[in-house]
Structure 1
């Protein structure tokens, strides 16, 4: 025990010494981020990332669920765990209901805090399932070089930003301040958010999925929301546990979809009363889960800025081909101000006031339509074609 305690003290000292040497900046969540191996990482995760790289011994049957924060991490954990453990537990008795997605699928950066804990992972039943926010380049070689499989979920960056900002604002902080929407957005675009830049994080896993599609499955949150059952089957096929004919007839994939829906997960005992990673209330990890909710908060210029960044950062990757021909901006509306003299007739004043209100609402309507058009162009990046339906026998 003394030897283990001494090692943990040494690990803490090493991580503190490292932090003193790393560039640091305030991130979009108001917390301090450190530039570790090319990505802006929260202080709380760097020790775990170091231990992950140094001591994790991958097994051939391991499953790693990867994402940037607020991209559908909780949902992916729930779906994968339920698919993998469906032979062990009936859906009605799933530990998911009482422990929650983050309880059944631990984060390697947060929940495994020492070398000794990594050694204890060998006792877990196969296949072992873990979660991570670590970028692909930061994954240990034992994982990348093994037959272990990785599932990565990405999401439209506009929705990621709003979900991340809302999450940050709702978490009480003692020494950190909450940033305004505008300031936080500027930080996000600079890559100053947990495990950012967003583009580099996404590209690492995207390129790995192209090189080894048998090892890395790249999923898009928007596709999963559009047809959850189809992607549950794809996920089951990828992890080597496809649904049997009997399970197909019983509609088990549909039942899993309902069990793991946002509405259902919010009602779990684990969500209502439990805590998630770092002691944060479990309910904070489930907000809306809607596609396009960011349009209720962002201006057209903000959407345009992200659209430009996507073209700049992803244009040579192949992932943005669907949106490469998007044209910027819809037509602009000219608004003319009207003024009246001090001696104007009240009726005319009322008319002009009414016109002002009409123009105001027309302008707001134009803003909304412009955001929707821009978001639709961005969404093309996060939509698949019909190959999946062909693969699963839905189409000829």
Structure 2
């Protein structure tokens, strides 16, 4: 009992020293810096600290990791459909398909928010945590990480936050200011480049345990990467399933257009009656590659590309997508 009280006191001491800063974030909350990254608010940092101390991963767990707005929704949908395909796809009924009643985000827990609500029959756990902040117990589990060209990541994040602000009768951050904050690393779970590099370097050291994916490559060959994802997670498709078109069915079911047009994603909400409540349709805007060309000036794009080259120098990682 005494040790628990001491731990609580130690945690409070840690939290009281963390820097806060107004940055590019949800609901106009101040960002909080913890272990080199900016978190959405103090509540998320507190839950992260608790997960680091108490969460015990199972060897069968698969962690879906990403920085925000890099293809998270799609990765969750594909992964959940793969591991649940006997009911989600084979059953064929709307009632058996969770995608018709909730957002893909609602199909699996988020480590730093709702991991206590996990389904013991579902091995998938999502997180936006940087690699260096994952609980120690995750070290033996498989990890899937998805990243995206920083310019499209920023544009997607900006529009998401702008629409969210408008829905709450708040003034959105101007594009120029949002761009400056993102480039300075002052966005939730930023700096973005550091987030990506953490998982990239870890994937080079442990390729059998960490699958590093790029959103653009997945978009160009969704069936190939769906099969690769399934095999990596331990849910590979049988030859019979492939002959019956199971891979194609999952890709179609989880496509941007299909998910966006589901009734639940037109009118439904996630996090109902809570501080994080928001409309499901906020998660479906464009989903296209190189959408940044419609929103960033040539100088803005050049500046961000310069940052990307500088940050990734010597890593052999290329985040910039070029048309083929």
Q: TM-score, normalised by structure 2?
A: 0.88
Shift in alpha-carbon separation, 1:261–1:89, aligned structure 2, 3 A: closer
CA separation in 1, counterparts of 2:203 and 2:179?
29
- CA shift at 1:14, angstroms? 7.5
Match in the other structure for 2:78: 79
Q: CA–CA distance in 2 between the matches of 1:184 and 1:19? A: 26
Q: Which residue of 2 aligns with 1:190?
A: 184
Moved more, 89-98 or 40-49: 89-98
Aligned equivalent of 2:321, options 374, 379, 392? 379
Cα separation, partners in 2 of 1:56 and 1:288, compared to 1, 3 Å: same
Alpha-carbon offset, residue 90 of structure 1: 3.0
Check if 1:20 corresponds to 2:23: no
Give the whole-Å Cα distance in 2 for the aligned partners of 1:203 and 1:276: 30
* Secondary structure class of the residue paired with 2:204: helix
Q: Which blocks of at least 5 consecutive residues in structure 2 are unaligned?
A: none
Is structure 2 residue 172 aligned with structure 1 residue 169?
no
Structure 1 residues 71 and 15: alpha-carbon distance in aligned structure 2, compared to 1, 3 A threshold: farther
What corresponds to 2:107 in structure 1?
A: 104
> CA separation in 1, counterparts of 2:20 and 2:267?
35
Q: Which structure has the greater CA radius of gyration?
A: 1
Q: Distance in 1 between matches of 2:11 and 2:113?
A: 14
Q: Does 2:269 align with 1:275?
A: yes
1:16–1:289 distance in 2 versus 1, CA, 3 Å:
farther
User: In structure 2, what is the equivalent of residue 128 of structure 1?
Assistant: 123
**Contact kept? 1:24, 1:34, Cα under 8 Å:** yes
Other structure's SS at 2:85 match: coil
Equivalent residues of 1:273, 1:282 under 8 A apart: yes
Distance in 2 of aligned mates of 1:309 and 1:106: 33
Aligned to 2:158, the other structure's residue is in SS state: helix
**8 Å contact from structure 2 (residues 69, 157) kept in 1:** yes
Distance 2:223 2:214 in 1: 14
1:72-124 residue CA offsets vs partner (Å, 9 max, x unmatched): 10110000000011134435332122122111112122224xxxx3xx64x61
Alignment of 1:281-320 (within 5 A): 281-320=279-318
Is this contact kept in 2: 1:31–1:176, CA < 8 A? no
Alignment root-mean-square deviation, CA: 2.4
Distance in 1, matches of 2:269 and 2:130, equals 25
- Cα displacement string for residues 294-337 of structure 1 (whole angstroms, at most 9, x for unaligned residues): 111101111111111111110111113xx8xxxxxxxxxxxxxx
8 Å CA contact 2:33–2:39 kept in 1: the answer is yes
1:199 corresponding residue in structure 2: 193
Say whether the 8 Å CA contact 1:15–1:46 is kept in structure 2.
no
| Alignment check: 8 A CA contact 1:97 1:268 kept | yes
8 Å CA contact 2:203, 2:212 repeated in 1 = yes
Matches within 5 A, 1:24-35: 24-29=20-25, 30-35=28-33
Larger displacement relative to structure 2 (273-282 or 161-170) = 273-282
